[in-house]
Amino acid sequence: MDPAYPPASFVKRLCAMFYDALLALSFVLVFGFFSMVIVQSVFGLENVEAGSKTAKIFFVYIMVLCFVFYAWFWTHGGQTLGMRAWKIKLVQDNGLPVTWTQAFFRFFYSLISWIPCGAGYLWMLVDKNKRTWHDKASHSNIIDIK
């Protein structure tokens, strides 16, 4: 890793993650609402039962929306809006911008990092290079650009 750009601190990453979660939630709520209105009108549904096939497909659709939200920012400048506010940036291990494939692995493994009580995120507190599980899986780093 380039010593001119040290790894981002846990606090900065956490703050950016919170900021971005609010933005992603807004994005998903708007697109999800209009998508559900369209699905209900096209298929004549009054409501969607929890656990139904439609609900499961819609969940996958919401996850795809979340992926597109984050991956677009990561592959176009390496910064989400929260990352810009906290002056941190996502780059490959070699310092280049991440690819869509890396963004996919990062997104997927970031979800897995939450499963054991956030251990994948907390791992950066003990890792000598301050990397999370999804940093390692996607061969990327979040750096502090001050």
Q: State the total domains in the chain.
A: 1
Residue 132 lies in a domain: yes
Q: Which domain holds residue 117?
A: 10-144
Supply angle C-alpha 97, 101, 102, rounded to 5: 50
pLDDT tens, position by position, 98-145: 999 999 999 999 999 999 999 999 999 999 999 999 999 999 999 999
pLDDT tens, position by position, 5-37: 899 999 999 999 999 999 999 988 998 888 888
Residue 4 lies in a domain: no
Residue 114 lies in a domain: yes
